[in-house]
Structure 1
């Protein structure tokens, strides 16, 4: 009692101590997250304009509702792109004074087909009635429940943004033009031709072992070309996956359990002995499967092509009532019994389509009249009847059906009703081998029924092969050990000790959700970009349906350039070729093609009629630098050594054939105009992004 009395006397003090402790905890977290400034409440900013977190996430929630199946990260990224675009364009609207008047806005709204064609806004003449529309808007505004009014105002904002962007894009496109000089240059690039001889020594003649490239060299190269290799900040991960998969004992136990269904068994279910009848003799297969299987009964008849190819032959060959198994398929231990067979469920057909001018989907090149098409089809049918084996070749050389002509006109596993009715009726109402000409809206079809396929009804008892509790404990403890070893000794040693392999390096950006080899793992990406996560830190993550990933943060890339694991695919070959070029140049001694040919053992080859519009060296590929050099030389002149894309070259120009002189370059100007105007909208946004000060905090959330 004395102790309780002392506690009561000091209760106020204890409460104060606890309160101070809690406050210190909260304060530490606030300081750690950037203080009370609210910085963590911003998903990011554009040129100082912040995106409020709560408002942003409300928009994300709306996207998730509108687009069923989209992940949260995908929705976040979608809204981010929209908000960045809107912020950048709004700045431009303000700078040029782009405004949209009420009359203009209403004009755009009324052009929305959903409104302009709505019966409630049409007058007796079927025309859009401004008065009816105005009354409807007033009714929304005056209604006690403001839900519809708020939705309408949000719609107006969307329409206004859309209309402004259209006006802005029109202004941009109107400012884009092509000069006569540019048109002339395109004409010359397309039509000037050069003939030359060359000697080439391919980079592939030098072994990769002779030219090692270091990480430092790749980084230095990218930093010299920052615009070309600009990339979002990344984190490079390496990991070991400890699979939480069933043991051999688990699989054997599951097989034994499934075996019991073959002849029937007694099994304890919910504390009561349950006598399970034999699957072989069960009368109501649907009820049986639904009661005992992890996968419910499917009453659909399936063709052979729709069965797992690994077991299709065995299952399709069974007679009704026969059972196959047990077998393991896609993580399930299965027993399958054929519950029925249906003949002629699908069919195989060969056909030749002869289209005529005006037929449905006829190509512009089709010139035959309907009568001419019929006559041609009848003639082809006569050839098929005389020599059935000629059907495939006749289809390839005559058919207007691009979907089947290169396959000899064959369609296999055609289901009833899949084709247009006349085609369908001929195929399913005639015996195998029957030929004929059938008219459809597409033209005339020369048809041959090649076969009829059965479909089977399969009843399958499938039990998921899962690790037992004992196995799960073993796998979990193994993951804990690998995590501990990786933290102490490095992930490579930990993996080797446990008989595992370290997965290839994976790079992720702050707004990614996919980790190569592990699928959607936003938790790992968030951890990698957390300010508290340091290089070489290790952490274990539970990976649903796979196991445990022990992940190490290998490096942080905040330089805004391509991460090293990606650079090895694109930058490493460039540096290797530079080093190979230095080796090859030493062999290419001499000032003439003949001398270089002799020194390298390479032949002198010709290139004829090459244009700058298509700068391709025969058998070697795209080589604009080589072709450009050939154009710049005079006839009979020989170049110095040229480092190309696929090797090292020396060229000697034979002749430059200039295109005929023309006064009008309208065709070329129109082509360039179309290209530049078409890309203008995209390029302006990219330009504004490059210029803008963008702070992206998506990686924190």
Structure 2
């Protein structure tokens, strides 16, 4: 009683303490999420202009609604790119005073076919009537329900943004031009040719073990050229996967269950014995499959090529009434029977295409007239008729169809209407062995029908092989144990103890939703970018239909450079080659090719007709430094040692063929102009992004 009395005396104090505790809990959550400061309400900002969460996510929801099948993350990223572009360009419109008047806006709106061709706005002469259109807009504005009027205002804003961007891009493109000097340079780069001899000492002759590269060297290398190795902020993660897969006992139980369909069985249903006939004796296969299978009957006839290659031969050649299985395919235990067969469903053909100048997709190098192409095709047909087996070799030598010439002009499993109509008609309306010349928009085809293929209608009883509740509990407890061990002793020790393999380190960006080999896992990406997640933190995630991933945050990369794991793939080879070059230079003693050849044991090789348009060296690949050096030398002169892409070189120019003189460089200027203008709008936006102060909080959502 005394204790109760004391509690009553201090009841107000207790209430206050509890209230303060609850308030502290809420306050901590508010501070954590940035609630009072508004930080959590911002998806990000551009040069101080914030993207408010509610407004931004409304746009995301709208994109999801308009584009069926797009994920939330894809929609969010799409809206982000749109809003960043809009914000950057809007600043430029303001700076240059770019405005769109009401009349200009209406002119753009009226060019929308949905409006300009709508019968609602056409007069008796079929022309767009401004008065009718104005009345319509007024009716929206004065309507009691303002939904449509608000939609119209949003549409006007979109159109205005679109029109301004078009005007801005026109201004940008009009300021881009190519000089005569640039045109001349391109002409000479394309047409100046050089023949030279060279000695090469490949980097591959030095073992990688001789040139170790440290992480510090990779980072220092990137910092020398930060723009070249620029990257969004990333997080590097690694994980072990505890698969939630069926046990041997589960698979045996499923096999026993489906074996019952092989011979028939009796099941108890609602206290009554239900006799299930064998799959072999079933008379209505569609009904049988729909009743007992987890995958319903598919009435589509399939060619052999469309069946899982592992079982295609057995399934395609099933005799009437014969059952194949049980077999496991894509996580299902299956029994299959052929329910029907259709002859000539697909076909095999050999053909030689002879194109002519002006034919559809004809290469610029083709000079034959239509008449000459037809005559050539008929000549080839005569050779095929004299020796039918020769069509493969004739196709490889003569065909203009790059998609089939290397395999003798063969197309197999061609479905009806897959090819253009004249080709299709000849193939499916003639017997095997028939030859002929067929004209299409692509040219003249010398054709031989090689074969006709059947398609089969498969009836398949399929049951999903799934882990039992007992197995799921075992797998879950295993994942829980791995997580606990990882939290206590680190992921590496926990994985080793559980006999699991740690997946290779992977990097994710704040706006990613895919994690390597785990698919769509936005939850993992969000966790890795959470402010409360620290390097070496570990967390378990449920991966639907797969199992449990125990994930470790390995590193945070917020310096704007490539993450170390990616840099090792692209930067480490460059540093290794630098170190190998230093080793190889000691071997390349001498000032002549003969001396270098003797000191290195490398032969003197020729290169013929090289140019800067295609600076390739046979068997060594792309070497612009080497070809450029050869072009810059007088005939008979020898270069110093050149560090190329694949090794060290020394070259001696033999002959330099200058491009023939031309009256002007209009062709080259036009090509460069087209390239520059085409890329101008993109490059401007990229440049604005590089200069902008962009805060990106997408990783938190």
TM-score (norm 2): 0.93
Deviations, residues 632-679 of structure 1 (Å, cap 9, x unaligned): 445544433322211112233445554455563333322222221111
Mark the CA change 1:196 to 1:534 in structure 2 (over 3 Å): closer, same or farther. same
8 Å CA contact 1:320–1:341 kept in 2: the answer is no
Any residues of structure 2 matched to 1:265-664 within 5 Å, and which? Answer: 265-269=265-269, 273-352=273-352, 378-397=378-397, 403-419=403-419, 423-437=423-437, 445-660=445-660, 664=664
Q: 2 CA distance for matches of 1:515 and 1:78?
A: 19
CA RMSD in angstroms comes to 2.8
3-state DSSP of counterpart to 2:571: helix
**Displacement of 1:107 after TM fit?**
1.1
Residues 607, 617 of structure 1: 8 Å contact kept:
yes
1:5-20 pair list within 5 angstroms? 16-20=16-20
The verdict on how the C-alpha distance between 1:632 and 1:483 changes in structure 2, with shifts beyond 3 A counting, is same
Distance in 2 between residues matched to 1:620 and 1:370, nearest whole Å: 41
Query: SS of 1:69's equivalent?
Result: coil
Aligned pairs for 1:126-205 (under 5 A) are 126-205=126-205
In structure 2, stretches of 5+ residues that fail to align are: none
User: Does the residue aligned with 1:36 lie in a helix, a strand or coil?
Assistant: coil
| Residues 222-256 of structure 1, C-alpha deviations (whole Å, 9 max, x = no match) | 11110100001111111111111111111111111
Q: 1:131 to 1:475 in 2, by over 3 A?
A: same
> Counterpart of 2:83?
83
- Give the Å deviation of 1:41: 0.1
Supply the distance in 1 between the matched residues of 2:540 and 2:232 (Cα, whole angstroms): 26
Q: 1-side partners of 2:78 and 2:106: how far apart?
A: 28
SS at 2:308 equivalent:
coil
Q: Deviations over 1:28-70 (max 9, x none)?
A: 1122233511111000000000000110000000111111111
- Label 1:604 to 1:382 Cα distance change in 2 as closer, same or farther (>3 A): closer
Q: 1:402 to 1:228 in 2, by over 3 A?
A: closer
Q: 1:151 deviation in Å?
A: 1.8
Match of 2:231 in 1: 231
Rounded to whole Å, the distance in 2 between the matches of 1:69 and 1:584 is 56
Q: Secondary structure at the match of 2:457?
A: strand
In structure 1, how many angstroms separate the alpha carbons of the residues matched to 2:366 and 2:594? 54
570-579 or 641-650, which deviates more? 641-650
Matches of 1:367 and 1:572, distance apart in 2: 49
Q: Closer, same or farther in 2 for the Cα pair 1:190/1:406, shift >3 Å?
A: closer
| In structure 2, distance between residues paired with 1:444 and 1:608 | 37
SS across alignment from 1:227 = coil
- Cα distance, 1:99 vs. partner? 0.1
Look up the SS of the partner of 2:104 in the other structure.
helix
Cα separation, 2, equivalents of 1:43 and 1:505? 28
**Relative to structure 1, is the Cα distance of residues 6 and 342 closer, same or farther in structure 2, using a 3 angstrom cutoff?**
farther
d(CA) in 2 for partners of 1:174, 1:435: 56
Listed as ranges, the gaps of 5+ residues in structure 1 are none
Partner residue of 2:52?
Answer: 52
User: Cα distance 1:337–1:9, how it changes in 2: closer, same or farther (>3 A)?
Assistant: farther
Please give the alpha-carbon distance, in whole angstroms, between the structure 2 residues aligned to 1:117 and 1:241. Answer: 58
Distance 1:420 1:691, change over 3 A: closer
Larger deviation, residues 672-681 vs 100-109:
672-681
Q: How many residues are paired up?
A: 701
What are the superposed Cα offsets for residues 506-564 of structure 1, whole Å, 9 maximum, x if unpaired? 00111111111111111111111111111111111111111111111111111110011
Q: Give, in whole Å, the separation in 2 of the partners of 1:445 and 1:347.
A: 16
Superposed displacement of residue 399, structure 1:
5.1
The one-character-per-residue Cα deviations of 1:61-94 (angstroms, maximum 9, x if unpaired) are 0111111111111111110000000000000000
CA distance in 1, matches of 2:116, 2:35: 53
Q: Is the 8 A contact 1:479 1:548 kept in 2?
A: yes
On the 8 A contact 2:35/2:41 being kept in 1, the answer is no
CA distance in 1, matches of 2:429, 2:180: 65
Alpha carbons of 1:470 and 1:448: their partners in 2 closer, same or farther (altered >3 Å)?
same
Change (3 A) 1:214 1:313: same
Shift in CA distance, 383/640, structure 1 to aligned 2, threshold 3 Å: closer
Q: Please give the secondary structure, in 2, of the residue aligned with 1:37.
A: coil
In 2: Cα distance, 1:368 partner to 1:549 partner: 62
- Aligned position for 1:264: 264
Query: In 2 relative to 1, CA 639–445 (structure 1 residues): closer, same or farther, beyond 3 Å?
Result: closer
The answer to whether 1:69 aligns with 2:48 is no
CA contact (8 A) 2:264 2:278 kept: yes
Question: Counterpart in 2 of 1:692?
Answer: 692
Structure 2 CA distance for aligned equivalents of residues 670 and 686 of structure 1: 24
The answer as to whether partners of 1:505 and 1:565 remain within 8 angstroms in 2 is yes
* Residue deviations 1:304-336 (CA, integer Å, cap 9, x gap): 111111111111111121111111111111111
Q: 1:267 to 1:16 in 2, by over 3 A?
A: farther
Sort the Cα spacing of 1:142 and 1:407 in 2 relative to 1 into closer, same or farther, 3 A.
Answer: farther
Q: Secondary structure at the match of 1:340?
A: strand
Asked whether the equivalents of residues 60 and 72 of structure 2 are also in contact (C-alpha less than 8 Å), the reply is yes
Q: Distance in 1 between matches of 2:351 and 2:35?
A: 74
1:357 shift after superposition: 7.5
Query: In the aligned structure 2, how far is the partner of 1:582 from the partner of 1:273?
Result: 85
SS in 1 for 2:221: helix
> In the alignment, does 2:106 pair up with 1:103?
no
Distance 2:146 2:271 in 1: 58
Once the two structures are TM-superposed, the CA of residue 217 in structure 1 deviates from its matched residue by 0.7
* Deviation by residue 1:282-315 (Cα, 9 ceiling, x = unmatched): 2222122112111111122222111111111111
Shift of 1:460: 1.0
Alpha-carbon distance between aligned partners in 1 of 2:588 and 2:481, rounded to the nearest angstrom? 58
Output aligned runs, 1:196-215, within 5 Å: 196-215=196-215
Q: Distance in 1 between matches of 2:582 and 2:334?
A: 62
Distance 1:268 1:553, change over 3 A: farther
Compared CA separation, residues 351 and 606, structure 1 to 2 (3 A): closer
Aligned counterparts of 2:624 and 2:276: Cα–Cα separation in 1:
76
- Paired residues of 1:192 and 1:657 also in contact (CA < 8 A): yes
Distance 2:633 2:383 in 1: 59
CA distance in 2, matches of 1:555, 1:273: 62
Q: Distance in 2 between matches of 1:389 and 1:148?
A: 70
CA contact (8 A) 2:335 2:460 kept: yes
